Structure 1
Amino acid sequence: MERKYPNLSKPIQIGNVVFRNRMFSAPMGGTDITADCTIGPKTTAFYELRAKGGAGAVTVSEVVVHPETEGSHMFHLDLKTVGSLSSFTYTADAIRRHGAIASVELSHSGQYAGTYLTDKDKKQGLAQWGPSATVRPDGLEVKELTQELIDDIVEAYGKCAEAAKRAGFEMIMVHGGHGWLVNQFLSPYFNHRKDQYGGSLENRVRFAQEVLARVRQAVGPGFPIEFRMSGSELFDGGYDLEEGVRIAKILEPQIDLLHVSAGTYQRGFSDTHPSMFKPHGSNVYLAAEMKKHVKIPVATVGGLNDPDMMEEIIASGKADVVEMARALLADHELPKKVVTNREEDILHCMRCFVCMAERVVTSTRRCSINPYIGRELEGMEITPAPVKKKVLVAGGGPAGLKAALTAAQRGHDVVLCEKSSQLGGILIGEQAIPFKYEMYKLGVTLAKLVTDAGVDIRLNTEVNKEVADQEKADVLVIAVGSEPMLPPIPGLDGDNVIIVNDYHLHQNKVAEEVVVLGGGLAGSEAAIHLAREGKKVHLVEMGLELAPDANIRHRPILLKEIEDLKIQVLKEHKGIRITEDGVICVNKDGKEILVPGKTIICALGQKSRRNVVSELLDCAPVISQVGDCVKVADITQAIYQGHHAAMDI
């Protein structure tokens, strides 16, 4: 068989271990962490899913090596806690049985202890430890680690490594990046010690060397040790790429795989986990430079989800391994699809941060486009239905497409009707905004998968009572979506007004000065896009906050983009009239002002098409309602509801 992606697909030997391909599942924190900080059964299934999907390695994250000075509610691995060793053993076995190599990340947050606590108030009661005494930006005091504590922590790395090997893990990753403790010692920003651990680079590297030496002692020769580091801290006061290279060269003799990430907790989440506003592969240049100076294999990570890009990275020698986290949540079978030349079937990560936000808010995992994530124990396989039925799906947006796909995969006879000439629903409008293109692509890929599954697709066909009665379906899935909210504002029907959903049809008509009316998520992202195109943008919101509908991880990054692009934001301004010169608004003081702009983008929200739903409620023996037609929400709810409605048939 000739493989389209031969470099991604070929094995690689690291230490004495052979990995089946060059696509590794990067560290991702688990979900059901027990009260004793062991791995719960849901988390074992969570990691197993990526192994089943074909990844070369799957890394369990993060194991806190020294809980006495850490305190975050993450995994602990020791021989004292009942269930600790066994939970890791079952997890390593679940990964290895599918051909992937099980790896575990050993970590210490240092002065950022408590980061992963759901109850953030508990951080106030923790003792924060770092290389140097300081006060964190949030006011928490950080104590300087003593030599005795440093020795204890180094020893703890070794003990955890011993236990991991005993449990069946075949690689150890030492987390030395992102502003955690090892990185804090490496960084001139954090490390102001006057002893053998501070000052010169050789001294700042000493702690990492001691940790790696103790891990090597624990696991023995030939056992792969992966060291994750930030190629550059990317902020003033931290180390840059040139010094990052020097760090890598010093540590090279002690490691087998150099994993090059970027940024630090101090700098911000969108660097360590590149947001949709950054180019894909934005960190690859760091790994590429490192590879010029070391002889060991190098891995790159950060916003990678495109096989063509990843193949080029390896083919051109920028890196030897590509690592993905979010991309393998969105489609756990991405590696398998790459190896079997099914790249067109890949569901691409949208970098929407639903996965990261869910862990912060509920201590679980969820992915906006993969309904299995965090619920793997509920069944990772779509099993055939015991009785084949005729299913009519009304609406070809994300909810309808997912319902039709899952129903067809279960063996039902599925008819999908879409009133327009194109599948994808509200996702169609995202094609003109580059950083949201994956959302548009989701609709395209789901449409392909639905076609391949044998669904009878009927475009330009709206399901009404007459159509439903003719089909005589056993089950009707109503997924008719939502429509824009268009309040009775004079001038809203003018030629200078573009509904945000239709922006892709009229993007060439947008003037140089624009008013975006509506500061929710859709309006805010449209404003960012237009400002990036060089437009002068005014963003008008009648409420007190921008993008309250954005998730807890995405929203701060979005607001920073708006600030950096110098978009004029007018909160507590209500649009009352649209003219050829802009939008007349009333501010909180009741004063009328003109917000100038020759083009108006209307982004005032969506409303459910309940009138359509009402007509169809008695048109089949079994009725399911999914997606925006139930309640205007997001892609996550649409995909989940569509999938599970089909699983219930």
Structure 2
Amino acid sequence: MKRKYPNLCSPVTLAGVTFKNRMFSAPMGGTDITNDGCIGPKSTAFYELRAKGGAGAVTVSECMVHPKTDGSHAYHLDTSILNSIACAAYTADAIQRHGAVPSLELSHSGMYAGTYMTDKSRQHELNQWGPSDTVRPDGIRVKSLTKEMIDEITGAYGKTAALAKRAGFEMIMIHGGHGWLINQFLSPYFNKRTDEYGGSLKNRCRLAIEILISVRKQVGEKFPIEFRMSGSELFSEGYDLEEGIKIAQMLEPYVDLLHISAGTYQRGFGDTHPSMFKEHGANVYLAAAVKKHVSVPVATIGALNDPGQMEEIIASGQADIVYMARALLADPYLPRKIEENREEEIVHCLRCFTCMAERAVTATRRCTVNPLIGRELEGTEVVPAPVKRKVLVAGGGPGGLYAAYTAARRGHQVILCEKESELGGILKSEQAIPFKKEMYELGRTYEFLARQSGVEIRLNTEVTEAYVQKEQADALIIAVGSEPIVPDIPGLDGKQVVVVNQYYQKQENISGQVVVLGGGLAGCECAVHLGMEGKEVHLVEMKEELAPDANVRHRPLLLSEIDKYVTVHTGCRGMEVTKEGVICEDNNGKSYLVPGTSVICALGQRSRKVCVEKLKDAAPYTAVIGDARKVSTITNAVYQGYHAALDIL
């Protein structure tokens, strides 16, 4: 078979180990870590799905090597811990049996011990150790590691690597980036030592080199060692790309693969994990620059999920391997789809940060576009239904489309009806905002998958109770979504006013001076887009905070963009829309004009309850999903649609 992406699909050999392709699964932390640091069964299933999906290597993250100085709630490998080796062995085996190379990331948090604890008060109770005495920005004191402690930590890396090899892992990744301990020693911002571990670049690299020597001594020569580092810390007090290249050159003799990431977690989350506001592959230039100065293979990472872009990265010599994390949450089978020339089936990551926000809030994992993630033990295969039913889906938004797709895979006869002329539901409105194009394209992808699975789609067709009875449907999934809230504000029905959901249809109505009414997620993102276009944008929100409906990872990045492009008026209620703008009233009752020749109404959504009420008894089995059930997120719509389809008996 001629492969469309031959470079991505070609094997690569590191230290005598051959990897079947150049698409590797990046480190992603577990979600059911036991109290003593063992890998839980949910996490084993999580990593296995990455391997089953065709990744050349799957990296398990993070194994903390020295609990005495690093109290992070993460994996540990220790023969004194019952089941520690066994859990690691089961995980390595689960990855390896699908043809992927199992790799374990070894790490130490340094002065950020306890970062992964859900209870942050416990983190602040820990002793924090780093290269130098300091006080963290949050007021926590950090003690300088002694030479004896450094020797002990260096030895712990080697001992843990040996245990990983014993458990069946076939590669080790040393985490030297993102502001963790090794990066803290490499960085002039963190490292203020005056002994042999501080000052000159050679001294700052000493700990990393000693760790790599310790690991090599334990695992032997025919065992790949990968070093993950930030090509640049991307802030003024840290090291830049020029120094990052020198660091890579100093470490090169001790490694088989240099994994070039970016930034520090504490100073630039949106750099380390490129957000929707950045270009895909925004950090590839760092790996490309390093590769010109080293002879060992180089890996790159950062919002990569497009087969064409990744193929070009390998073909042009910018890197030898591409790593993906969020992309393989959205679609674990992405590598297989590329290898099998099925790239049109790929469900692309939205870069919405639902995955990382959920982990921060509940210590579980969830993905907006993939209801399996974090719940792999519940089953990753859609099992055929014992009795085939006639299923009617009312509504062609993301939840309805995914429900139809799932029901069809179970073997049911599925008809999806959409009252408008185009599928996608609320996702259609995202097509006008470039940084949200993946959300619009999600509707197209779900439509493709649904049609491919045999779903009959009827556009311009509204589902009524009579329609359901005429079709004699056994099951009805009600996914009729929500409608915008347009309050009775004088002038809000004017020609210069565009409801945010309809902006994609009426972009030409929006002039250079805009007032956005409503500071929720939709209003904020639209305001940022308009500001990026060069328009003068005022954002009016009656509450004191913006975007409370944004998740904890996306919200700070969104607010940062707001600061760049938008003039904000919080604690301010819109009272009347005029030709000159919006007359507002602040919390003290004072009125003033917020100027604008155009107005975007983004005051929220309400469920289509009347429609739901009319349909709830229309079929023997009915399920209400998504915004029709409760105005919420794409995540909940997709998850509910998937399970509604599974519940059809």
- Give TM-score, length-normalised by structure 1: 0.99
Looking at structure 2, the residues matched to 91 and 124 of structure 1 have their Cα atoms a distance apart, in angstroms, of: 31
1:105 partner SS: strand
The aligned counterpart of 2:297 is 297
2:457 partner SS: strand
Q: How far apart are residue 404 of structure 1 and its match?
A: 0.2
Looking at structure 1, the residues matched to 632 and 424 of structure 2 have their Cα atoms a distance apart, in angstroms, of: 16
Amino acid at match of 1:214: S
| 1:383-422 mapped onto 2 (5 Å cutoff) | 383-422=383-422
| 1:550-561 mapped onto 2 (5 Å cutoff) | 550-561=550-561
The aligned counterpart of 2:43 is 43
The aligned counterpart of 1:2 is 2
The percent identity for this pair of structures is: 67
Alignment deviations for residues 581-631 of structure 1 (CA, whole Å, 9 cap, x no partner): 111111111111111111101100000000001111111011111010000
Range with bigger deviation, 262-271 or 83-92:
262-271
The aligned counterpart of 2:379 is 379
The aligned counterpart of 1:638 is 637
| 1:568-579 mapped onto 2 (5 Å cutoff) | 568-579=567-578
The aligned counterpart of 1:209 is 209
Looking at structure 2, the residues matched to 311 and 3 of structure 1 have their Cα atoms a distance apart, in angstroms, of: 11
Q: How far apart are residue 259 of structure 1 and its match?
A: 0.3
**Structure 1 segments unaligned to the other structure (5+ residues):** none
Alignment deviations for residues 21-74 of structure 1 (CA, whole Å, 9 cap, x no partner): 000000000010011110000000000010010000000000000010011100
Amino acid at match of 1:641: Q
The aligned counterpart of 1:140 is 140
Looking at structure 2, the residues matched to 498 and 342 of structure 1 have their Cα atoms a distance apart, in angstroms, of: 39
CA distance change for structure 1 residues 266 and 361 in 2, over 3 Å: closer, same or farther? closer
Q: How far apart are residue 174 of structure 1 and its match?
A: 0.1
1:600 partner SS: strand
Alignment deviations for residues 303-345 of structure 1 (CA, whole Å, 9 cap, x no partner): 1111111111111100000000000000000000001111111
Q: How far apart are residue 564 of structure 1 and its match?
A: 2.5
Looking at structure 2, the residues matched to 353 and 124 of structure 1 have their Cα atoms a distance apart, in angstroms, of: 25
The aligned counterpart of 1:115 is 115
The aligned counterpart of 2:369 is 369
The aligned counterpart of 1:263 is 263
1:68 partner SS: coil
Q: How far apart are residue 266 of structure 1 and its match?
A: 3.4
Looking at structure 1, the residues matched to 266 and 417 of structure 2 have their Cα atoms a distance apart, in angstroms, of: 50
| 1:335-354 mapped onto 2 (5 Å cutoff) | 335-354=335-354
Alignment deviations for residues 324-371 of structure 1 (CA, whole Å, 9 cap, x no partner): 000000000000000111111100000000000111110110001110
**Structure 2 segments unaligned to the other structure (5+ residues):** none
Q: How far apart are residue 424 of structure 1 and its match?
A: 0.5
1:332 partner SS: coil
Looking at structure 2, the residues matched to 564 and 591 of structure 1 have their Cα atoms a distance apart, in angstroms, of: 27
2:506 partner SS: helix
Alignment deviations for residues 161-211 of structure 1 (CA, whole Å, 9 cap, x no partner): 000000000000000000100001000111111111111101100000000
Amino acid at match of 2:120: K
The aligned counterpart of 2:465 is 465
2:68 partner SS: helix
In the alignment, structure 1 residue 152 sits paired with structure 2 residue 152? yes
Looking at structure 2, the residues matched to 168 and 16 of structure 1 have their Cα atoms a distance apart, in angstroms, of: 16
Looking at structure 2, the residues matched to 591 and 218 of structure 1 have their Cα atoms a distance apart, in angstroms, of: 72
Looking at structure 1, the residues matched to 123 and 417 of structure 2 have their Cα atoms a distance apart, in angstroms, of: 53
| 1:68-467 mapped onto 2 (5 Å cutoff) | 68-467=68-467
Amino acid at match of 1:312: E
Amino acid at match of 2:436: K
Q: Which runs of 4+ in 1 moved over 6 A?
A: none
| 1:583-594 mapped onto 2 (5 Å cutoff) | 583-594=582-593
Amino acid at match of 1:271: D
The aligned counterpart of 1:14 is 14
1:318 partner SS: coil
The aligned counterpart of 1:524 is 524
Alignment deviations for residues 447-496 of structure 1 (CA, whole Å, 9 cap, x no partner): 01111111110000000112111011000000000000011111111110
2:129 partner SS: strand
The aligned counterpart of 1:616 is 615
The aligned counterpart of 1:495 is 495
Q: How far apart are residue 4 of structure 1 and its match?
A: 0.7
Alignment deviations for residues 236-273 of structure 1 (CA, whole Å, 9 cap, x no partner): 11100000000000100100010000001232211111
- Give TM-score, length-normalised by structure 2: 0.99
2:557 partner SS: helix
Looking at structure 1, the residues matched to 138 and 429 of structure 2 have their Cα atoms a distance apart, in angstroms, of: 40
The aligned counterpart of 2:626 is 627
Amino acid at match of 1:603: A
Looking at structure 2, the residues matched to 226 and 506 of structure 1 have their Cα atoms a distance apart, in angstroms, of: 51
Q: Over the residues paired in the alignment, what is the CA RMSD in angstroms?
A: 0.6
